[in-house]
Chains A and B, each alone.
Chain A
Amino acid sequence: MQFSEDDLKNQLQRKDPGAAFTQRVMARINQQRQAPETTQVGSRGASTRWFDWLRLRPAWVAAVAAVVMALAGLGGYHAYQEHQAERAKEEVAAQQAELAVRIATAKLSHVFKKVQANSHEPAN
Chain B
Amino acid sequence: MGPDRTAELETALEHCRRGDNSAFAAIVQAHQAMVFSIGWHYLQDRSLAEDMAQEVFLELYQRLNQIESAAHLTNWLRRVTVHRCIDQGRRRKVRPETPLEDQPEPTASTHNRDHFALGLLARGLAKLDEKQRMIVILRYQEELGPAEIAELTNMPVNTVKSTLHRSLAELRKKLTRSLGEVRYAIF
Which residues of A come within 8 Å of B, CB atoms?
A: 1-3, 5-17, 19, 21-22, 24-26, 28-30, 32
Contacts and interface: CB of A to CB of B under 8 A. Distances in A.
Given A6-B109, A14-B141, A1 B176 contact: yes
Nearest to B38: A14
Given A1-B176, A8-B140, A13-B104, A24 B54 contact: yes
Given A7-B121, A10-B107, A2 B29 contact: no
A17 B50 contact: yes
Interface of B: 21, 24-25, 28-29, 32-34, 36-37, 40-41, 50, 53-54, 57-58, 61, 104, 106-107, 109-110, 113, 117-118, 120-122, 125, 136-137, 140-141, 143, 171-172, 175-176, 179
Given A21-B54, A26-B25, A28-B54, 13 more contacts: A1-B172, A1-B176, A2-B172, A8-B121, A9-B141, A11-B121, A12-B137, A13-B37, A14-B141, A22-B32, A25-B28, A29-B58, A29-B61
B54 to A, nearest CB: 5
B131 to A, nearest CB: 16
Given A12-B141, A15-B36, A17-B32, A3 B172 contact: yes
30 contacts: A1-B117, A1-B120, A2-B172, A3-B121, A6-B109, A7-B121, A9-B140, A9-B143, A10-B109, A10-B113, A10-B118, A11-B140, A12-B125, A12-B140, A13-B37, A13-B107, A13-B141, A15-B36, A15-B37, A15-B40, A16-B32, A16-B36, A17-B50, A22-B25, A22-B32, A24-B54, A25-B32, A28-B54, A28-B58, A30-B21
Mostly, the A contact residues are helix
